[in-house]
Amino acid sequence: MKTARILIIDDDIAHLSSTRGLLEAEGYEVFIHTQAFGATNLAADLQPNLILLDVNMPGLSGENLLSVLRANARTRAIPVVFYSSNDEDTLRGAVSRLGAHGYISKGSIASLRQKVASYLKSQPVAR
CATH number reported for the structural domain that contains residue 14 in this entry: 3.40.50.2300
Question: Per the domain annotation, does 98 fall within a domain?
Answer: yes
Question: Per the domain annotation, does 127 fall within a domain?
Answer: no
Question: Per the domain annotation, does 97 fall within a domain?
Answer: yes
pLDDT digit of tens for each residue in the chain (127 aa)?
568 999 999 999 988 999 999 999 999 999 999 988 899 999 999 999 999 998 877 777 777 888 899 999 999 999 999 887 766 777 676 666 767 888 888 888 888 899 999 889 876 555 4
Give the dihedral sign, CA 71/74/77/82: negative
CA distances from 127 to 3, 35, 44, 105, 123 (A): 10, 24, 12, 28, 12
Question: Per the domain annotation, does 57 fall within a domain?
Answer: yes
- pTM score of the predicted model: 0.88
Predicted local confidence at residue 95, as pLDDT: 66
Number of domain units in the chain: 1
- In 3D space, the residue among 5, 112, 17, 104 whose CA is nearest the CA of residue 55 turns out to be 104
* Residues of the domain holding 20: 5-121
Predicted local confidence at residue 50, as pLDDT: 96
Question: Per the domain annotation, does 126 fall within a domain?
Answer: no
In 3-state terms the chain splits into helix, strand, coil percentages (rounded to 5) of 45, 20, 40
